Amino acid sequence: MKPVLVIGGGMSGVTTTVEIAEVGKEVILIEKEPYLGGNVVKFNNYFPKLCPPTCGLEINFKRIKQNPRINYFTSTEVQEISGEKGNFKVKLKTSPQYIKNNCTACGKCAEVCPIEMPNEFNYGFTKTKAAYLPHEMAFPYKYHINDEYCTKEACNKCVEACKYNAIDLSAKEEIKEIEVSSVVVATGWENYDASKIDNLSYSTSKNIITNVEFERFIASNGVGENKLLRPSDNTEPKKIAFVQCAGSRDENHLPYCSAVCCTASLKHAINIQELYPKAEIKIFYIDMRVAGRNEDFLTKAQAKENIELVKGKVGKITEIENNNLILEAEDILSGKKIKYEANMAILATGIVPSDINLDLNKDQNHFITDLQTNGIIPVACSRKPMDVSTSVKDATAAALKAIQE
């Protein structure tokens, strides 16, 4: 029996992979980044229990390590798929693996590396070396060399410093051809490009960031290392505003609801309160959409003295002299126009499906539809926005479909 191919190593792809392997089938998992875990690994913590990203992922990484039926390849993408249900031929492209698997993550390469580059894990708000550990809980736990920034043999310092002979700067891109019975597409989501929402001034004001970036701002191992610092002057903001539906449910941007942003902002507000109990937080919303168990979050946030929920869409944000921001909205409940001055604003930008270069049925918003008749199974956020627990359930269902193909 041919293996199943899973494309995307986020929470859903990893779950599908272990579920398939544990019923006795071979699985090949590919991930375009140098590490597995997807968007969740960058979070500070995740609702509903506010556990760290290690919770849930760590156990799955252990299941991957222990299962001989799983082969996974990072820094890898699909180049071509041909064939049909039960009998696909797939061409995979792996970018050069300058650091080999015998890397012990001792860190000597990063110590001697003379090149600094934007740290992708912190969305470019901090710097890292061109030889770097992608993040503290990276799986696989090994260093990586950035192809674009590293000057390779012209420098060679990391090769000289590595006593395990784990670095090969002459490594080349690899193409592999595999045969699989079915394909699970778990390519997940990306954040909507906030620079497209002109009236919210994301591109022109440093102190306006997105909800996804905020995860790295509030994380204890993130941008401010246990402090929330606003980007313009590294001071701790005292007045923080959240702008819900930034581009979402808006015909000019994303006509749909991303399902997770309201609960994410409530989580963020509670995170801030835990760090700074006196901070003043306002969440501007159209409708608070929190389903199921996440309702508890709403109740918890409403009970906090310094968190105020304002029913009103923010129409405009303007930066003033001290880099503070003026948010303009209409308070629907009182009918009054509001101008609120904040030190920092977080835009709850929605999620869009990751782009994948395959000929698949997609809906008008580019999510992959369930209507594939060809042994290709979309899962979780590649098919519609959903939270982690729903993604995990969807991933288990996808595993069941994949082993029946």
Ligand X SMILES: Cc1cc2nc3c(=O)[nH]c(=O)nc-3n(C[C@H](O)[C@H](O)[C@H](O)COP(=O)(O)OP(=O)(O)OC[C@H]3O[C@@H](n4cnc5c(N)ncnc54)[C@H](O)[C@@H]3O)c2cc1C
Binding site for ligand X (CB under 6 A): 7-13, 30-33, 38-40, 43, 46-47, 77, 186-189, 211-212, 260, 264, 267, 351, 354, 356, 380-381, 386-389, 391
**CB closer to ligand X out of 283 and 386:** 386
With a CB cutoff of 8 Å and minimum separation 6, the contacts of 186 are 6, 7, 8, 9, 10, 12, 13, 16, 379, 380, 382, 395, 398
**Minimum distance of ligand X from residue 112's CB (angstroms):** 29
Residue 390, amino acid: T
Residue 176, amino acid: K
**Minimum distance of ligand X from residue 108's CB (angstroms):** 28
**CB closer to ligand X out of 96 and 107:** 96
For every residue of 115-176, DSSP letters joined together read: -EEE-GGGTTSSEEESEE-S-TT-SS---EE-TTT--GGGT-HHHHH-TT--B-TT---EEE
**CB closer to ligand X out of 197 and 260:** 260
Burial class (CB in 10 A: 0-12, 13-18, 19+), 334: exposed
**Minimum distance of ligand X from residue 254's CB (angstroms):** 12
**Minimum distance of ligand X from residue 281's CB (angstroms):** 16
Residue in 105, 108, 126, 101 with CA at minimum distance from that of residue 42: 126
**Minimum distance of ligand X from residue 151's CB (angstroms):** 26
**CB closer to ligand X out of 167 and 368:** 368
Instruction: State whether the Cα torsion 313-43-144-20 is positive or negative.
Output: negative
**Minimum distance of ligand X from residue 115's CB (angstroms):** 24
**CB closer to ligand X out of 181 and 271:** 271
Instruction: Find out whether 379 and 186 touch, Cβ atoms under 8 Å.
Output: yes
**CB closer to ligand X out of 188 and 237:** 188
